[in-house]
Amino acid sequence: MRVVVLTGAGISAESGLSTFRDSGGLWEGHDPMQVATPEAYDDDPGLVQRFYDERRAALARVRPNAAHDALARLEARLGEDLLVVTQNVDDLHERAGSARVHHIHGRLRSAWCTTCDERHPWDGPLGDRPPCPWCGEATLRPDIVWFGEIPYGMDLVERALGECDLFVSIGTSGVVYPAAAFVHWARGTTLELNLEPSAGASDFAESRQGPASRLVPAWVNELLGEGPGTST
């Protein structure tokens, strides 16, 4: 069985990372339009860099939760038949043990040089304008896909969705495109696992509500025929 899983901020919420739309539209106290657009970066690069430096540093203080662990367990069984597509810029899937993870919105632990176009693994701050390790210019920015920019690897995602038997959406509000349209691109049956019905809940064949740390392990058990499943 070929499975594509889409994850959003909700899967990392119980690890202690804040979601985008659950606290009055603010993300860590900021309007996303003031920190997550190319225009915001042009206007005030220092503010945007500091914001992402804080987010990057926060990764060291959090750990994967039972939902990330369950998806890693699923990959151990399904191998190449599972692809996790995430909108998250954290690294909690990888730290839980998932290897087949595609970050359509980029990654906090990567820096992109706008002069030479190289990308570099990055764990420290960018706000102090360090030189690019490749070309030496102080033009590194977070390797994050901001509003108005093109998500990474959509051809790969479209192909996987067109070939999948099951598409599962976890912890995403379903309001940001293109991810919100994946349910329509999926060839197979569709399932949503979210704290509350998302904006697109009625597009899924089935929608289950609850915290990801409970719903995801239960669904994985169900799929693998290991132990009790969950009720809707």
Residues in binding site: 8-27, 52, 55, 87-90, 113, 116, 132, 135, 171-173, 194-196, 212
Q: How far apart are CA 71 and CA 66, in angstroms?
A: 9
Comparison of 35 and 132: residue with beta carbon closer to ligand APR: 35
143 makes contact with ligand APR (CB under 6 A): no
Q: How many residues are present in the chain? A: 232
Q: Report CA-CA distances (Å) from 45 to 41, 110, 118, 195.
A: 5, 17, 19, 35
What is the phi/psi pair of residue 103, to 5°? -95, 100
Among 47, 78, 154, 195, binds ligand APR (CB under 6 A): 195
Q: How far apart are CA 82 and CA 15, in angstroms?
A: 23
Binding mask 154-173 for ligand APR (x = CB under 6 A): -----------------xxx
Position with the least CB separation from ligand APR: 10
Binding mask 22-41 for ligand APR (x = CB under 6 A): x---------x---------
Q: How far apart are CA 110 and CA 228, in angstroms?
A: 39
Is 105 marked active-site? yes
Among 6, 13, 164, 218, binds ligand APR (CB under 6 A): 13
Q: Which residues contact 156 (CB under 8 A, 6 or more apart)?
A: 102
Return residues touching ligand APR (CB under 6 A): 8-10, 13-14, 19-22, 32, 87, 105, 171-173, 176, 194-196, 198, 211-212
